[in-house]
């Protein structure tokens, strides 16, 4: 039995966003326990020229909602990118997971060779569906989830590899 495009996309996206939600919960709890203004963590970054935690979450959600929509041939929902708190970020994650869970396998399966075109840093880029998923969406999603993890860990939040990977039960 082969792996379908649906199986390779939606469940992977939902799991990654669920793990990110868990990591953000730990960040919010840490801020509360240490009496730190949560906005300090939401706006934290690893380096001056990197995006803050909030933008990492925005890009992670944008990448997967865009991927699902492009592979299924439906309109990509637009979000305002105005999240400024842990509850805002959690709401964005939940809204994205709800969008992803609305897809049926039949909408995405068979999109392996579907043409996907988008602008990347102002440059027109074209993929076939499978390559778009495996060589662009996956790395983008995991980079931004990992960076969000690293920002919180760098700021003292007690998270580890299993928080990033999530439960397998």
Q: Tell me if residue 119 falls in helix, strand or coil.
A: strand
Angle in degrees, CA 67, 63, 166, rounded to 5: 105
Class of domain 5-104+113-165: mainly alpha
User: Phi, psi at residue 14, to the nearest 5°?
Assistant: -65, -40
Contact 29, 140 (CB under 8 A): no
Confidence of residue 2 (pLDDT cuts 50, 70, 90): confident
48-104 pLDDT, tens digit each: 999 999 999 999 999 999 999 999 999 999 999 999 999 999 999 999 999 999 999
100-146 pLDDT, tens digit each: 999 999 999 999 999 999 988 899 999 999 999 999 999 999 999 99
8-32 pLDDT, tens digit each: 999 999 999 999 999 999 999 999 9
Which residue, 124, 107, 121, 19, is CA-closest to 67?
107
- Parse the chain into domains and list their residue ranges: 5-104+113-165
- Both tokens of residue 42? 């939401």
Contact 68, 103 (CB under 8 A): yes
């Amino acid at each position: 039995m082969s792996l379908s495009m649906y199986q390779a996309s939606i469940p992977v996206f939902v799991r990654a966003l669920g793990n990110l939600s868990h990591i953000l919960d730990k960040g919010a709890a840490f801020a509360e326990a240490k009496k730190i203004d949560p906005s300090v963590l939401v706006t934290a970054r690893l380096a001056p020229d990197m995006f803050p935690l909030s933008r990492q979450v925005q890009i992670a959600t944008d990448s997967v909602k865009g991927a699902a929509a492009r592979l299924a041939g439906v309109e990509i929902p637009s979000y305002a990118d105005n999240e400024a708190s842990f509850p805002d970020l959690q709401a964005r994650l939940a809204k994205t997971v709800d969008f992803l869970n609305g897809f049926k396998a039949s909408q995405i399966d068979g999109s392996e060779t579907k043409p996907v075109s988008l602008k990347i840093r102002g440059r027109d880029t074209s993929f076939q569906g499978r390559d778009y998923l495996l060589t662009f969406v996956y790395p983008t999603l995991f980079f931004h989830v990992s960076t969000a993890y690293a920002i919180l860990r760098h700021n003292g939040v007690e998270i580890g590899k299993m928080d990033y990977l999530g439960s397998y039960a």
